[in-house]
Structure 1
Amino acid sequence: MTVRETSETDAPGVSTAPPTSECGGAARVLHGAAPSLVWLAVRLVGLLVLQWLSAVNGERLRGRLVLWDGQWLLNIAGNGYDRVSPSLVDAFGRRTPETPLAFFPGYPLLVGLTRFVTGTGLVTAGLLVSLVAGLVLAHGLTRLGSLVPGGSRRAGLLLTALVAAAPMGVVWSMTYSEGLFCACAVWALVALLRRDWVLAGWCTALAGVVRPTAAALLAAVGLAALVAVLRRRDAWRPWAAALLAPIGLLGYLWFVASRTGSPLGWFALQRRGWNSKFDGGAATLRFTADVLATGRSVLEVGTVVVLAGSILLLLLCVRRGMPWPLWLYAAGVIIMDLGANGLMNSKARLLLPAFTLLVPVAVTLSRRRPTHALALVAAVTLASAWFGGYALTAWHYAI
């Protein structure tokens, strides 16, 4: 695993060192805030387009940001697992006392805490958590882009913009848990590249109580720790990462098992409530063939394009020599997404945690003329804004 602790240049003759005291305090603040500003600018475009599409379709912006899974997560945050509103049901219109346990507790717990501390309403607290999580993710992405081989701060900022403008990037601004999960995941990977094993273990553990996608992160961190142990590197620290990393994911699965009376209780809930199970990709292949044959909707065609693009980007990551824990993590996310049955319309959203797929693209763009890179980012931002807005307004099913 190749590790870059620092990056000297964005491009020949362009320094990436923080501004000196001669530049003044304002320049230093701007330098430090750059990841946040990039993230906020891209997401603002997305929200403006969503506002326009909401108005055209007779919807309210605020209501669009708390749809579907967001309702479940906010209800759990406000009422706990045992008092979720009976109006919330699974994909088949059914509900049992165990159904809410299908949703991991990390995001609802943080929303509930934010509501208590700030005194705001539940929706405002949820949107605030998503906003802050996005900013933490942005700074992690910028750091990640400077650590990879050939990377730089410019590459990191471009990576931040590209991830903010992912095809289903609208979810970053919703009361969904992807932003919080990815914030934990990116800092786990940053810590991994810096061989800060304890931090990597804790971030992975936190990710494990937010989303089941933590299994992919756990595989990457666990295997990297095993390699370090076999090579006798960093003394006891890789062992600490290996012990800490699974605490969150395994802990919640054990909790659901104790509540349902089955060691595979969480998986059973997913299968019964959302027809979600691992079938090796058979359902995804059928969906892809059907969509390509009929072209039923913009969203479904777009989803197939995103799925195909993720595989091509993974191959590019391997070919470009990206550190193997990063592409292994992305591969795990892809396998979990494409290999599972369930709601096909959610496939593009479920690929959001595979943000490391965009690292080679960001590094390549960082070596191009700034005007060319900015033009591409602007085009991607607008396309993402429209696609996400369409998914929440003109498309009438869950994403």
Structure 2
Amino acid sequence: MNDLVPASVTGRPAPGGSAAGAALRRAAPALAAYAAIRLLGLVVLAVWSAAGGKDWHTLLTARWDSLWYSRIAEQGYGHAVALPNGDIHSDLAFFPLLPWLERGLSAFSPLSPADAGMAVAWLSSLAAAWALYATGERLHGPRAGVALAALWAALPVGIVQSMAYSESLFTALAAWAGYAVLSGRWVWAGALAALAGLTRPVGAAVVAAVWITAAVTLWRERAGGVPLRAALRARPGMAAGALLAPLGWCGYFLWVAVRQGSPTGYLDVQGGWGNGFDGGLAFAGFLRDQLSGPGFAAGLGLLAGVGLVIWLYVHGVRRGQPLPLAVYGGVVLLLALTAKGYFGSKPRLMLPAYPLLLPPAAALARWRPVWSGLVIGLLAVGSAVYGAFWLNGSGPP
């Protein structure tokens, strides 16, 4: 097995480096492929929605979680809905960075908060695609970078990347934080991790990636006889990055705790939504019910999907995936699979787990371009059709 901590993490960042313009030019094919796949998804959604008498714009900006985000942007926190069964759906469940951006963008443009949320998602998804390209290029070469960005765009639930949701914003911050760790830019990694922690609860995965990679790097140096101070001096910004990383996530948890008057305030809010973590017991029960009832085929497909993502994670780790990506992807996967409530959301919750796509991206990069292009094209068509069907049906809760 290859070393899980790449040389770039254990040493100083390379001096100089490419300018942002040159990096953007290298990423242009990946961004073009990403944009084409997502545009296909939007066109199919628009046609499908029109045929069903629905508005594609409303589906992307004014349903489900997007309504909660835009309401926070317009009125701040404090809204809650009491359900007949006694549950309380509070807007405190939603982290603040996306509503802040919606409010700021709508204040300085003619966009409504909802449209501002969609604009943030579209721009963030391109930023995420760039980060994925940079990661794939660094680890496996330019073709793998293009394939990684394209595969992420062509996920079955890829349409969420174009919605006024926080997944695109979070993935962009998380992916660039991961790249910063890989390239030894620790302060950037910590700052981006802090912003990711203000975006979604799974920001804890980015914090874990920064902390564990830093700890393992220092531990290996100490095991090699290097004093701690010398190891830290050799990695400028590591201590500062590690201190910055949890500020966003912890800050929001503490703010909710104070507002709710309880140290478990945020967990209580999530409990009101029927969410929480039970080690996967509720999800296992859901799978069992599907497999033993009329939904057997759907249950079998769901079981196969869970098996696939676990296999992709294990396969990536066994092939030497760098430690920060292995930690981040593993925590995202763990949190998604062990959460209870809204089982239909699990594919969306795993959307930011881009390291799972590195092994197939590396494999596609070794194929002839015509064959890899054909595979990605078929996946893109499937994603577009499924996304249109999904949003015009039950959609993401």
**Same fold, judged at TM 0.5 (above):** yes
Q: Distance in 1 between matches of 2:133 and 2:361?
A: 10
How far 1:391 sits from its partner (Å)?
1.5
Structure 2 residue aligned with 1:177: 166
State the percentage of identical aligned residues. Answer: 37
Describe how 1:207-218 pairs up with structure 2 within 5 A: 207-218=196-207
C-alpha offsets along residues 295-349 of structure 1, whole Å, 9 cap, x if unaligned?
5398766544432221111111112111122122111011101111111010110
Q: Number of aligned pairs?
A: 371
- 1:296 counterpart letter in structure 2: G
Structure 2 residue aligned with 1:125: 116
1:107 and 2:98 matched: yes
- 2:53 counterpart letter in structure 1: G
Provide the secondary structure at the position in 2 that maps to 1:266: helix
C-alpha offsets along residues 46-70 of structure 1, whole Å, 9 cap, x if unaligned?
1122122212332110111122111
Q: Distance in 1 between matches of 2:205 and 2:23?
A: 36
C-alpha offsets along residues 96-148 of structure 1, whole Å, 9 cap, x if unaligned?
7xx11110001110111111122322222111111110111011010000122
C-alpha offsets along residues 168-202 of structure 1, whole Å, 9 cap, x if unaligned?
11100001000000000000000111111111101
The change in CA–CA distance for 1:229 and 1:342 in structure 2 (over 3 A counts) is same
Determine if contact 1:229/1:239 at 8 Å carries over to the other structure.
no
- 2:253 counterpart letter in structure 1: L
- 2:75 counterpart letter in structure 1: N
Q: Distance in 2 between matches of 1:377 and 1:252?
A: 39
In structure 2, which of residues 38, 42, 51 is the aligned counterpart of residue 56 of structure 1?
A: 51
Provide the secondary structure at the position in 1 that maps to 2:111: coil
Q: Distance in 1 between matches of 2:333 and 2:84?
A: 23
Q: Distance in 2 between matches of 1:173 and 1:238?
A: 34
Normalising by structure 1, we get a TM-score of 0.87
In structure 2, which of residues 32, 37, 41 is the aligned counterpart of residue 42 of structure 1?
A: 37
Q: Distance in 2 between matches of 1:315 and 1:60?
A: 41
Describe how 1:299-310 pairs up with structure 2 within 5 A: 303-310=302-309
Determine if contact 2:184/2:235 at 8 Å carries over to the other structure.
no
In structure 1, which of residues 68, 73, 83 is the aligned counterpart of residue 69 of structure 2?
A: 73
- 2:216 counterpart letter in structure 1: V
Structure 2 residue aligned with 1:392: 391
Determine if contact 1:303/1:345 at 8 Å carries over to the other structure.
no
Q: Distance in 1 between matches of 2:349 and 2:284?
A: 16
Structure 2 residue aligned with 1:138: 129
- 1:335 counterpart letter in structure 2: L
In structure 1, which of residues 138, 158, 162 is the aligned counterpart of residue 147 of structure 2?
A: 158
Unaligned runs of 5+ in 1: 6-17, 19-24
Determine if contact 1:57/1:394 at 8 Å carries over to the other structure.
no
Unaligned runs of 5+ in 2: 10-17, 222-230
The change in CA–CA distance for 1:328 and 1:256 in structure 2 (over 3 A counts) is same
Determine if contact 1:4/1:146 at 8 Å carries over to the other structure.
no
How far 1:235 sits from its partner (Å)?
4.1
The change in CA–CA distance for 1:137 and 1:128 in structure 2 (over 3 A counts) is same
Q: Distance in 2 between matches of 1:382 and 1:147?
A: 28
Q: Distance in 1 between matches of 2:206 and 2:195?
A: 11
1:2 and 2:6 matched: yes
Q: Distance in 2 between matches of 1:281 and 1:91?
A: 27
Q: Distance in 1 between matches of 2:23 and 2:87?
A: 55
Provide the secondary structure at the position in 2 that maps to 1:242: helix
The change in CA–CA distance for 1:299 and 1:383 in structure 2 (over 3 A counts) is farther
Q: Distance in 2 between matches of 1:28 and 1:217?
A: 24
